[in-house]
Every structure is written in C-alpha cells, then in structure tokens.
A and B are shown apart, each in its own frame.
Chain A
Amino acid sequence: GDSVTQMEGPVTLSEEAFLTINCTYTATGYPSLFWYVQYPGEGLQLLLKATKADDKGSNKGFEATYRKETTSFHLEKGSVQVSDSAVYFCALRATGNQFYFGTGTSLTVIP
C-alpha cells in the first residue's frame, strides 16, 4: 500500500545551519506530496506542497522538490532559525484521497 518514510530524529542544529529532512514515498498512481509542521502545543499546519513530478513547493524559506525518479520529497532550508523548532511530517495524498503521514522528525534549533 501507499506509505511515507522519513528521516528519524531528533535533529538538533545551530541557528543559521542548513537543514535537510529526507522523505521517500511508495504509491500507486501519481500522489500529491506535502510537508506539514507541528509547533509545540499546536495542531498540524501545511508548510508546502507539490502536486506533480518536478514541482517545487516553497514557503517561509523551506523548499522541497517532487522527484518521481527517486520517489523523494526532501525538505530543505538554507538557514534555520530558533522559531523553526517543531516536528515536521511528510505526507502524501493517494489516488483514493487518503492522506498518509511519515513518523515525523523533531527539529530543535539552538541559538
């Protein structure tokens, strides 16, 4: 069945460091891909999305490119801030409209 595998955490970075969180997927058909973020004490919020191969989603300095050949959707940010500390979830929307999530990667950014 459809599924998402993402990099295990936790990840700790210094402010202004480069961030990569790996995500790969398994799906039939052509899913849409998403990154969601969960800040402490808050609900899941959409960070960015891509709906077809080679699309790049971007928001708040974060980027991810839909790579069909490697079935990947890695999240990157060039310079993280303390306020980026959160849990990040990779997700896909399957052809049946179900959303499947990875296990989440906890990021802590220290000043």
Chain B
Amino acid sequence: EAGVAQSPRYKIIEKRQSVAFWCNPISGHATLYWYQQILGQGPKLLIQFQNNGVVDDSQLPKDRFSAERLKGVDSTLKIQPAKLEDSAVYLCASSLEGNTEAFFGQGTRLTVV
C-alpha cells in the first residue's frame, strides 16, 4: 500500500515570498490533516479536511496560510507571504473513520531566510 506522498521534501525561500506544498493521501482515506512541526516541538494541527470540506481550521493563520483539497483527494497548503517564524516541517497525514491512526508523510522542511 502506498503511503502519504508529499513534495517537495525541502524548500528554502526568502521572507515575503510565497510557497506551496502538495500532499497525496493514502487511497480511500477521507480525512486529511496538515500539521506544522517547529524544531523541538510536537506537531500542531493547522487544518483538517473531511473529503473536500474543512472540518477544523481554527489554528490556521488565515491572513497568510491557505489550503484546499480539490475533489477530496490531493491537497495543497500555501503560505503567502512567508515570515521567518514559518520555518518548520509541514506534515501531511490521512486517516480512515473510527478509532484508527493517522498515517504521516515524510514532511516538507521549509526554511525562511
């Protein structure tokens, strides 16, 4: 079974530039999550999709972050404009319904200089 795919693996941008991350979840997983993991901290939920609808985006900085999940499959997360404090690993995860675990991709390491 293929896992959660993310790209790119690494990205370096200057502050005030824009950046986009892509995620392809495990086939059949209706729920998709984007997390931000700052060095030395645990993953922090940014947004949760159920199919192509947003379930929870309470911690998404909506003035600069946006996300979409077209057709309930792939998802993109965008930052515009980026700030230095956005430097982190951005993790995508997907899960089935019920008491099952979330499966994580390898993440995208973003460095804002």
Contacts and interface: CB of A to CB of B under 8 A. Distances in A.
Contact of B101 (A34, A42, A96, A103): A34
Nearest to A93: B99
Contacts of A93: 99, 101-102
Among the interface residues B40, B101, B104, which one has the most CB atoms of the partner chain A within 10 A?
A: B101
Contacts of B97: 97
Interface residues of B, number: 25
B55 interface: yes
B95 to A, nearest CB: 7
A96 B55 contact: yes
Interface string A70-99: 000000000000000000010001001111
Given A43-B105, A46-B101, A99-B33, A104 B41 contact: yes
B45 A100 contact: yes
B45 A103 contact: no
Interface string A41-71: 0111110010100000000000000000000
A22 interface: no
B106 A43 contact: yes
Interface of A: 4, 32, 34, 36, 42-46, 49, 51, 89, 93, 96-104
30 contacts: A4-B42, A32-B99, A34-B101, A42-B106, A43-B107, A44-B93, A44-B104, A46-B101, A49-B99, A51-B99, A89-B42, A93-B99, A97-B48, A97-B50, A97-B97, A98-B33, A98-B45, A98-B48, A98-B55, A98-B56, A99-B33, A99-B95, A99-B102, A100-B45, A101-B35, A101-B42, A101-B43, A102-B42, A103-B41, A103-B42
Given A43-B107, A97-B31, 12 more contacts: A4-B42, A36-B104, A45-B104, A93-B101, A97-B48, A97-B97, A98-B45, A98-B55, A99-B45, A99-B95, A99-B102, A101-B42
Interface of B: 31, 33, 35, 40-45, 48, 50, 55-56, 91, 93, 95, 97, 99, 101-107
